Amino acid sequence: MSRRIIILGILYQAFFAFASRRVEQSFYIPSTLQNRTSYTVFESLASGLDGPKVQPINATTFDWWYFDVVSTNPPDLSTAVCIPTPDSVTDITVAVLWISFPNGTLWSTASHADGATVKVNGDYTDGTWDNSGFSWTSKESGYLIEIDAPDAGVTGTISFRTVAPPHYPCGPAEAGQNLELGPHIGWANAISDADSTVDLRIDGDTPFAFRGTGYHDKNWSDVVFGTHITSWYWGRGRLGPYSLVWWDVLGRTGVETFSAYAAKDQKILAASCAPESIKARPIGQNSTYPPVLSTGNPSGYHVELDLGVDGKLELDLTVLAPTIALNPEYARFVGNMSGSITGERNTERLIGMALFEQFKLTE
């Protein structure tokens, strides 16, 4: 974790704790929209990767924290996605949890907070969604989500032990990086890959526990979501020794933007937003590109991702099940991932599990 001083735009208030050598800064997020101009950050500082990027939150801005875990065993469809996030127009500090059971059955819940506090420690954060029962804490080695929300039907923990370095859309976690993933969408990936354990109790008595790979990012914007986006594909997963994260975003102007990430043995192999760094396209049924609202969901995706010195990865994703109720705009899936490295002789086909999503917002 970086121990350099956090300065988030004009909003800084550094507290230097000598004993732990941690620099702390605390932000309060009221549960209601603020009728003021929001200040939004689109360039990185030396630290504060997972910290708030929009202050305050008004009717046309958002700032989300997103966590997920996907099982590492293909027959097991278990996933957990937690977003302590604005979910409605008026009540913006809501924690939402979606899970899919091993058999693919979906369950979700939401818990409303009275406001939230996010503390920034170097590149990482601690977050408390007041009186919602949802909070997280972080250390250099990972994150822990604690949930005590019996009224929302869930208690337990989700842990993340980081196995790959954090990053931004176009490069590593360092000062001066462009944070815009696509038009007006900021993105910072605090946990690109982790060994995770989900240990929850659903509706009082149903245990929901599994091990898998975990992930955490945040995204934000200075405009209403979707106003500048036509469609996008996001995905992530672990394939053999590789931790992978990709974005392929199509803006309303017809410009496609990209972000590719690959890490191995705790080191970044590729972190780039160059046009040839990654390309994702739907395959099988409903593989029209670009997808529109009336296009059905595809059977899978083909992704080409440049691994840098390790070569080029050709990846096929097969949808196994949706992890959220299907709707025309948004779909998130758990699926099989298989890949091989172009040009390399005698390489075995690598396999793994992935979580991936698509937005399509126009007809």
Binding site for ligand NAG (CB under 6 A): 35-38, 40, 58-61, 64, 66, 74, 101, 103, 105, 185, 206, 217, 219, 222, 225, 234, 285-286, 296-297, 299, 318, 320, 336, 351, 357
Is 245:149 a contact under the CB 8 Å cutoff? no
State how far the Cα of 157 lies from the Cα of 150, in Å rounded to an integer.
13
CA separation for the pair 353, 238 (Å, rounded): 7
Least distance in angstroms from the C-beta of 34 to ligand NAG: 8
CA distance 135 to 30: 16
Report the residue number, 178 or 299, with the smaller CB distance to ligand NAG: 299
Smallest separation (angstroms) from ligand NAG to the CB of 102: 7
> What's the min distance (Å) between Cβ of 103 and ligand NAG?
4
The size of the chain, in residues, is: 363
Separation of CA 144 from chain center? 15
134 or 225: CB nearest ligand NAG: 225
Q: How far is the CB of 247 from ligand NAG (least distance, A)?
A: 8
Q: How far is Cα 99 from Cα 212, in angstroms, rounded to an integer? A: 13
The DSSP annotation for 163-193 comes to -S--EETTEES-TT-B-EEETTEEEEEEEEE
Q: Which is nearer to ligand NAG, 90 or 346 (CB)?
A: 90
Output 40 or 125, the one with its CB closest to ligand NAG.
40
Is residue 349 classed exposed, middle or buried when 0-12, 13-18 and 19+ CB atoms within 10 A define those classes? exposed
Nearer to ligand NAG, 59 or 292 (CB): 59
Q: Considering beta carbons, is residue 336 or 340 the nearer one to ligand NAG?
A: 336
What CA–CA distance (Å, rounded) separates 55 from 33? 11
DSSP for residue 43: B
Nearer to ligand NAG, 292 or 351 (CB): 351
CA distances from 40 to 8, 185, 319 (A): 10, 11, 36
Return the residue nearest ligand NAG (CB atom): 296
Nearest-approach distance from CB 152 to ligand NAG, in angstroms: 17
Closest separation between CB of residue 146 and ligand NAG, Å?
A: 21
Nearest distance in Å: CB 37, ligand NAG: 4
Give the DSSP letter string of 236-302.
Answer: EEEETTEEEEEEEEEETTS-EEEEEEEEETTEEEEEE--TTSEEEEEESTT--SS--TTS---SEEE
Query: In this complex, which beta carbon is closest to ligand NAG, that of residue 20 or of residue 105?
Result: 105
Least Å distance between CB 326 and ligand NAG? 9
- d(CA 246, CA 187) in angstroms, rounded, equals 12
